[in-house]
Chains A and B, each alone.
Chain A
Amino acid sequence: MNSGLVIVLTGVLVATACALLGSFLVLRRMAMMADAISHAILPGLVAGYFVAQGPNLLVGFLGAATAAVVTVSLVELLQNTRRVGNESAIGIIFPAMFALGTFVVSKYFANVHLDTDAVLYGSIEFSSLDLLYVGNASLGPQSLWVMGGLCVLNLLFVGLFYKELKLATFDAGLAATLGFSPILIHYALMTVVSVTTVGAFTAVGAILVVALMIVPAATAYLFTHRLPVMIVLAVAIGALSALSGYAVALALDASVAGSMATMCGVFFGLALLFSPLHGLVARLRRLRRQRVQFASEALIVHLLNHERTANQATESAVSHLNVELRWTPQFAQQVMGWATRHGLIERTNGHLVLTERGRNSAQQLART
């Protein structure tokens, strides 16, 4: 198989496996726990290396998954002493685990090639070289098998336990009263997250796993408030980041994993600006509309107050608005346009007159 194709496929599979879980991590406010896990598996990998006397996929997996569960339990233990806040507990445990891992590597495996760069940003570039063998038969690139398997696992996990995950995420108390243990679900999710992290770790490294887990899900969250849509959207954005990231990496001759994370960030930035729900542009437009709407409400109440009074003629003159309400002519035009469009006022030779509808809503406003 062509090596570029293997890299792209691996990237898409990693992104898919990560994004499937990401939505739950984002909604459960466990993004930094994923970060902690991705660092803390280092001593587990080292222990696996030590036990198997060399690199071994299965033992490495077991060691890293154990380290991840240990990390989650330690953070919870520390938090439950009520001496340390949750974020501080994370900030103490994962650097300690990571330091322990680096310590053991440099002390006992100084002559072994356990590349520290690969720990941080992976080696997806070489994914086509690492083949999976059964006996002597080569089955193709190992990364495809591992990440494909993890995709299936995560799909099964989310598919089979969707109801439980959803319930425990949005209302842990209700889940507990209905007999679903939120703690069990929590640890199950953490285990799946850590297994996925270990698999993705070799491809994209410790920190970029976090990018692929958290950022697509967070981006999706800016577009929808429905969980199924969010999950599907997150997977799509993750895959898109992987594809475009590979293109960027080729163009710049730079790290593939880093480019994928950067593209995740680019998509998030675009969503932050242009999402119709929470985007900056949408919010500014909403603000402006509200300002005009509010001003036209002020206008019709003003007109109502002076209706059938001695000075109605002066007060309802268009030219009077910048004096009375201190509007710039431009803003006054906007407001009058809005009110006319909504059938609240009519303009007759330089004067504003309330329509029947405008009078009714002005009276309603004046009453409240």
Chain B
Amino acid sequence: MNLLNDLLFDYTLRNVALGSALLGIVSGVLGCFAVLRRQGLLGDALAHAALPGIAIAYLLTGSKAPLVLLLGAAIAGWLGTLLLLRIVRDTPLSEDAALGIVLSTFFGFGIVLLTFISKRNDAHQAGLDKFLFGQAATLVQDHVITMAVLGGAALLIVAVFYKEFKLLTFDIDFAASLGFPTQWLSIALTSLIVIAVVIGLQTVGVVLMAAMLVGPAVAARQWTNRLAVMIGLAALFGALAGLSGALISVSDSHLPTGPMIILSLTVIVLVSLFFGSARGLAWDWLRRARQRRTLRSAS
């Protein structure tokens, strides 16, 4: 009861919990498409690619308003995606190498800019590097509202283009033969993932963002074979991980929020892998043991 009371009325806790849960929902929903299209690590690359965008946005505007920095992050992430697609299409390099290239060189450039800024001797810049590891504890109401607006817009677009995205995910050739602009739809879907990543930067940081996209979707996949159900479950799991990570980290001042969210998520993934009603490993093992017994008693 005390916890509920805190959750409703404690300003910091409410922001952290709301922000983390929001992130969980948005990245859960978009992660489903990424995972099913076998682009699970796209989020990881985008998160790293966003870093120079944050630094450049700050250098250009001198502002640390969340919207400005997130816009910079989104543009850089988006450029990273275009470069990635180009590398995959025009060179013999695999997608995996393309991800590694975009991720590491953009990030390296971001580090150059961040260190360059920090040596410029102005006190105002402090806190830009919080994007590296995320710092959910510093979320204020402004951030949460920005996250809600951006995330809400992304979810709305998913709802409007649900049919198209579904077709694109499961049978891209069929979609193309029906006359859907598959390339534009792919870019749209990837851009939405950029939004999810950008929202996550402030909360869980660059490094852990990969799991925020992949984890809820993989967990949800083990419970169902239907996309709509999977999306709903992924949103639920994402929110659950965000909320519990936030609560655990608040209960002990030594615990950082981002890693706690990811560890909660890992637990959810493990439980789902073993006990998921559609594809749980435990049911598989049980069934096999039972079959073995039947076979043995029959022979």
Chain A residues within CB distance 8 Å of chain B: 26, 29-32, 34-35, 39, 78, 81, 83-85, 87-88, 90-92, 94-96, 98-100, 102-103, 106-107, 110, 116-117, 120-121, 206-208, 210-211, 214-215, 218, 221-222, 248-249, 252-255, 257-262, 264-265, 268, 272, 278, 280, 283
Residues of A within 8 A of B105 (CB): 211, 215, 261-262, 264-265, 268
Q: A91-B44, A120-B132 are in contact. List 19 more A-B contacts (CB 8 A).
A: A32-B41, A32-B100, A81-B281, A84-B218, A87-B38, A91-B211, A100-B259, A100-B263, A106-B254, A106-B255, A211-B108, A222-B91, A248-B112, A249-B112, A252-B116, A254-B119, A255-B112, A260-B108, A283-B90
CB-based contact A103/B266 at 8 Å: no
Residues of A within 8 A of B94 (CB): 26, 29, 31
Task: Give the nearest-CB partner of B284 in chain A.
Answer: A81
In the bound complex, CA of A215 to CA of B104 (Å)? 8
Residues of A within 8 A of B110 (CB): 258
In the bound complex, CA of A353 to CA of B133 (Å)? 73
List which B129-153 residues lie within 8 A (CB) of chain A.
Answer: 129, 132-133
List which B188-209 residues lie within 8 A (CB) of chain A.
Answer: 207-208
The answer, among B90, B119, B218, for a CB contact under 8 Å with A88, is B218
Residues of B within 8 A of A91 (CB): 40-41, 43-44, 210-211, 213-215
List which B231-282 residues lie within 8 A (CB) of chain A.
Answer: 252, 254-256, 258-260, 262-263, 266, 269, 273, 279, 281
Residues of B within 8 A of A94 (CB): 210
CB-based contact A85/B38 at 8 Å: yes
In the bound complex, CA of A102 to CA of B218 (Å)? 23
In the bound complex, CA of A110 to CA of B266 (Å)? 23
B14 an interface residue at 8 Å Cβ cutoff?
no
In the bound complex, CA of A103 to CA of B133 (Å)? 12
Residues of A within 8 A of B211 (CB): 91-92, 95-96, 99
B155 an interface residue at 8 Å Cβ cutoff?
no
Residues of A within 8 A of B215 (CB): 91-92, 95
Residues of B within 8 A of A265 (CB): 101, 104-106, 108-109
CB-based contact A85/B40 at 8 Å: yes
CB-based contact B101/A214 at 8 Å: yes
CB-based contact B111/A31 at 8 Å: no
Residues of B within 8 A of A121 (CB): 111
List which B69-100 residues lie within 8 A (CB) of chain A.
Answer: 86-87, 90-94, 96-97, 99-100
CB-based contact A262/B259 at 8 Å: no
In the bound complex, CA of A259 to CA of B211 (Å)? 28
Knowing A83-B279, A207-B108, A210-B100, say if A95 contacts B210 (CB, 8 Å): yes
